[in-house]
Amino acid sequence: MRTQVAIIGGGPSGLLLSQLLNKAGIETVVLERQSREHVLSRIRAGVLERGTVDLLNQAGAGDRMAREGHPHHGCYLSSDQQMIRVDFQEACGQTVMVYGQTEVTRDLYEAQDALGATHIHGVENVVLHDLKTDSPYVTWDKDGQTHRLDTDFIAGCDGFHGVSRRSIPDDVRREYEKVYPFGWLGVLSETPPVCDELIYANHPRGFALASMRNPMLSRYYIQVPLTDKVEDWSDEAFWAELKARLPTGVAANLVTGPSIEKSIAPLRSFVSEPLRWGALFLCGDAAHIVPPTGAKGLNLATSDVHYLSQALLAYYGTNDSSGLDGYSHQALARIWKAMRFSWSVTTMMHRFPEHSDYDQQMQRVELDMLATDPTARKLFAQNYTGVPL
């Protein structure tokens, strides 16, 4: 079996890359460990930058997003009962789209089906071979047999625990990591959102976030210690803690209900360099992870896909390999900017075990600057809605 680009991982970054390449006549094969049903069951954030929205439209997978997504023109940050609104359009002339990552993935699957793209689910023991040669290939096991795929290039879109990043030798790969001393307890409920825009809350009891998926599906989070377990938190305890951390006027309007999904996610920042090793190119969580505070995870993955797809189109179109040669440097420049923003918002909004009164005062000053300084709001809005691709 042979293809032009082998894509390891059938999440949104792998599907989007496959879609953009197939639309341009470049053949791909997507290899995914899980079933399609499992991939579509993953609950993830859904704040999309303008660049991500444009790329989904370019891929022919944006029609339902245009109908059902919710453009947001700003967000709120709260502290000491104060609600600080950052107006994205006023500050930088941009907006974001609230549309769940599960729905993005579903749309991409449907677009891939319409093109007849090749997906192979349920693969095991994936191994990448001869990456520094002109004849790389991939092997995997399925249904008791070993299969081989010859290819020109391999895109590693298989996440933090996938095989792609680990296929780059240890003496070449350099990893940067910061593990935060807390996690987010998230609840999904079939209730109307408490606000029509996201609320990021700084509170002495810890961070909270009020978000949404649609007019009758809300997503809420509270900061919890890493030692907490989901079973430690009843629905009643979660709602009581969330109300305590939101401003009083907001909490009074909160509609509660049974949770339909509840989980705890640890927070970390992670970057692996380089993003290219011979015929292998890393995309998305295989190369980097950001805290969800800055809403950058999916958006960074799509920016990687943008740079890599453009480089592959140039290579197959005019034999121009400069984009492939420069992919790692170009993508990492944007990745590190997003890392800085996510780190800064996480630091500003959460309570750390080691925080002193001085640290908490610095948080108040940062939030006060957003409340009073148009330049601070512009910088925040530019980073939140996405620096240009």
Distance CA 69, CA 56 (A): 13
DSSP E strands, 26-169:
28-32, 47-48, 70-72, 74-79, 82-87, 96-98, 118-121, 124-129, 137-142, 145-150, 153-156
| Cβ contact 28:6 at 8 Å | yes
Q: Residue ranges of the chain with pLDDT lower than 70? A: 43-45
Inter-axis angle of helices 297-318 and 12-23, nearest 10: 30
How is residue 65 written in tokens? Answer: 């997003």
Domain boundaries, the chain: 5-70+99-177+268-346, 180-267+352-385
pLDDT of the residue at 45: 67
* CATH class of the 180-267+352-385 domain in this structure: alpha beta
**Residue at 323: amino acid letter:** G
How is residue 26 written in tokens? Answer: 């470049």
What pTM was computed for the model?
A: 0.94
Distances (CA, A) of 263 to 52, 217, 311, 337: 26, 16, 38, 28
For the domain covering 5-70+99-177+268-346, report its CATH number. 3.50.50.60
Q: Give the residue carrying structure tokens 């309570």.
A: 351
| Cβ contact 163:126 at 8 Å | yes
What are 136-177's pLDDT values in tens digits?
999 999 999 999 999 999 999 999 999 999 999 999 999 999
pLDDT of the residue at 373: 97
pLDDT of the residue at 77: 97
Query: What is the set of active-site residues?
Result: 72, 200, 292, 296, 384
pLDDT of the residue at 293: 92
Distance CA 22, CA 27 (A): 6
Report the 10 Å Cβ neighbour count for 146.
11
